[in-house]
Amino acid sequence: MSNRITITAQVNGETVTRDVEPRQSLVDFLRENLELTGSHVGCEHGVCGACTVRMNGEIVRGCLTLAVQADGAEVETVEGLSDTGEIADLQDAFLRLNAIQCGFCSPGMLITAAELLDRNPAPDRTQIREFIAGNYCRCTGYQTIVDAIEAVAKERRG
Amino acid sequence: MKPSPFAYAKPADLAEALRLKADHGDDGTFIAGGQSLVATLNMRLSSPDILIDIGGVTELSGIEVSDGSVRIGALTRHRDLEDSPDIKTHAPLIAEAIAQVAHPAIRNRGTMGGSIAFADPAAELPACILALDGAIEIAGPDGRRKVAAGNFFKGLYDTDLGTGEMITAVEFAADSDDWRTGFDELARRHGDYAMAGLAARLRMDGDSIAEARLVYFAVGDKPMLATGAGGELAGKPLSAETIEAAAASLDSDLEPFDDLHSSAAMKLHLARELTRRVLTKIAGGAQ
């Protein structure tokens, strides 16, 4: 038994209303129904972090959140955060310091890094590593990712 | 993988949630944060006909401290525990443990009730609630009841919850000044499920230990209260000798089994090492 359910959410500032299957994950909804393919689908069981998006201002796993659970919520993806310029300095540092290799983990890494710096403006390298521990980089480029986040933290503090 | 199809209902209050569960019995599953459940759905380890989303039952959320007791609503998220000054003051064990529960994105959605109900033997919060000698508050078709944590966890993913019941809260006594607590776990990656872990509480009477509650997790089919190790500590000062005696007695307290990442012998070794680390740290902090 499966009935489609109508949901309405604010996605990157735009109100969208769609009929979804209850079993559809939030990340599949974003990618397949809204064509926002910046959020990636990796492990589909909460381990890799590639699907990380923001819901009601906080990062969540897009694969462990159902689209129906986003009804009434505010959802932000890497596309939205790029358009607003909120993570422009992080994106610039990731490029500048070679923290992007294949790019598969990058959207999740950027959104996770944004929440870390929001909650802790002066993290040390251990705290950065612990905070991004839920995001796998399949190129194993962690050193430069930590470098980039550390650099932005310093830049933002001035 | 993608889950099997299921229907979805979002009750507005507890009564409606219980009614829906009564209608569907074992074919209906409650979902709160879904951080364990959705993974099992995606892997098709479970395939309910309907998910009953209690995310809108706001009466189940929140942390209350009154008359020396702490009550944590089932829908209270790990993130809420992490940010709570009340938890830091009155349940420092949970405050210390919560940073090791999964990853930030998961802590933003995972809930206390979900963790307790799922009863993963490697999970942190069931071990903490047992170390705190807490009680689980349960609502069902016949009203509410409370079960001591020691009687709640039955075995591998198995609890005292009956069909039609749900956890509404956990309760325990706020730590008084004579309690010392410590928590640590060993995992392959920070935030992953532990290979072995320890939630420890000691009640001190001057320099000697009046009572010790050492709860080990990921070393059995449920959180394990080590009564032998606790007995070794009772009535003695927290010294290197007593710590070593407690660690040694784990051989009879615990019967770990092999899993993917570690043999039973290795788990026992890690449990002994955690005993030394956690109790030595408590001893240092107490001076």
Mind listing the pLDDT tens digit for each residue in B9-67? 999 999 999 999 999 999 999 999 999 999 999 999 999 999 999 999 999 999 999 99
Same domain, A71 and A111: no
Mind listing the pLDDT tens digit for each residue in B89-101?
A: 999 999 999 999 9
Please give the C-alpha separations between residue A76 and each of A14, A20, A90, B97, in angstroms, as whole numbers.
10, 19, 16, 30
CA A144 centroid distance within chain: 19
User: Are A128 and A150 a contacting pair, CB within 8 Å?
Assistant: yes
The two tokens of residue B169 are 């809260």
For A44, residues 6+ apart whose C-beta sits below 8 A from its C-beta are: A25, A63, B1, B2, B42
Same domain, A76 and A93: no
Sign of CA dihedral B81, B39, A66, B8: negative
Q: Count Cβ atoms within 10 A of the Cβ of residue A74 and give its class: 0-12 exposed, 13-18 middle, 19 or more buried.
A: middle
Same domain, A68 and A21: yes
For chain A, strand residue ranges (E) read 5-11, 14-20, 52-55, 58-61, 74-76
- Pick from A22, A131, A134: which is nearest to B7 by CB? A22
Last residue of a domain, one of A37, A56, A81: A81
Same domain, A98 and A132: yes
What CATH number is associated with residue A138? 1.10.150.120
For residue A117, pLDDT over 90 is answered with: yes
Same domain, A77 and A91: no
For residue A1, pLDDT over 80 is answered with: no
The SS3 call for residue B209 is: strand
Same domain, A93 and A140: yes
- Confidence at residue B189, expressed as pLDDT on a 0 to 100 scale: 84
Q: Say if A21 is an interface residue toward chain B (CB within 8 Å).
A: yes
Same domain, A95 and A52: no
The SS3 call for residue A73 is: coil
The SS3 call for residue B73 is: strand
Which ranges of chain B would DSSP assign to H, the alpha helix? 14-24, 37-42, 78-83, 85-90, 92-98, 104-107, 112-118, 124-131, 149-152, 227-233, 240-248, 250-253, 264-286
Distance (Å, whole) CA B102 – CA B114: 14
How would residue A2 be classed by pLDDT, with cut points 50, 70 and 90? low
Q: Say if A39 is an interface residue toward chain B (CB within 8 Å).
A: no
The two tokens of residue B77 are 């998220």
- Four-CA torsion B101, B106, B109, B115, nearest 10 degrees: -40
Report the pLDDT averaged over residues B231-257: 96
Last residue of a domain, one of A60, A81, A102: A81
Identify from B27, B38, B75 which residue to disrupt to test chain A contact, counting A C-beta atoms within 10 A and taking the largest count. Answer: B38
Q: Say if B144 is an interface residue toward chain A (CB within 8 Å).
A: no
Q: Supply the angle between the helices A106-119 and A88-96 in degrees, to the nearest 10.
A: 120
What CATH number is associated with residue A46? 3.10.20.30
The SS3 call for residue A68 is: helix
Q: In chain B, what residues touch A25 (CB-CB under 8 Å)?
A: 2, 38, 42
Percent of chain B with pLDDT over 70: 99
Distance (Å, whole) CA B240 – CA B237: 9
Q: How many CB atoms lie within 10 A of CB A128?
A: 22
Rounded to a whole number of angstroms, the CA Rg of chain A reads 16
- Confidence at residue A3, expressed as pLDDT on a 0 to 100 scale: 83
Q: Say if B142 is an interface residue toward chain A (CB within 8 Å).
A: no
* Nearest-CA distance A3 → chain B (Å): 6
Position B38, amino acid: V
The correct answer on CATH 3.40.50.300 for the domain covering B7-56 is: no
The residue ranges of every structural domain in chain B are: 7-56, 58-173, 179-286
How would residue B287 be classed by pLDDT, with cut points 50, 70 and 90? very low
Q: Say if B231 is an interface residue toward chain A (CB within 8 Å).
A: no
Report the pLDDT averaged over residues A93-108: 97
Q: B58-173 in CATH: which number?
A: 3.30.465.10
Position B23, amino acid: D
Last residue of a domain, one of A81, A113, A135: A81
For residue A70, pLDDT over 60 is answered with: yes
Q: Say if B154 is an interface residue toward chain A (CB within 8 Å).
A: no
Domain that holds residue A70: 5-81
- Do the Cβ atoms of B1 and A59 come within 8 Å? no
Same domain, A110 and A66: no
Q: Which of A103, A89, A82, A99 is nearest to A40 (CA)?
A: A103
A-B C-beta contacts closer than 8 Å: 95
ipTM comes to 0.96
- Pick from B2, B6, B39: which is nearest to A64 by CB? B39
Same domain, A9 and A54: yes
Number of domains making up chain A: 2
Identify from A69, A75, A120, A126 which residue to disrupt to test chain B contact, counting B C-beta atoms within 10 A and taking the largest count. Answer: A69
Same domain, A96 and A65: no
The correct answer on CATH 3.30.365.10 for the domain covering B179-286 is: no
Mind listing the pLDDT tens digit for each residue in A30-55?
A: 999 999 999 999 999 999 999 999 99
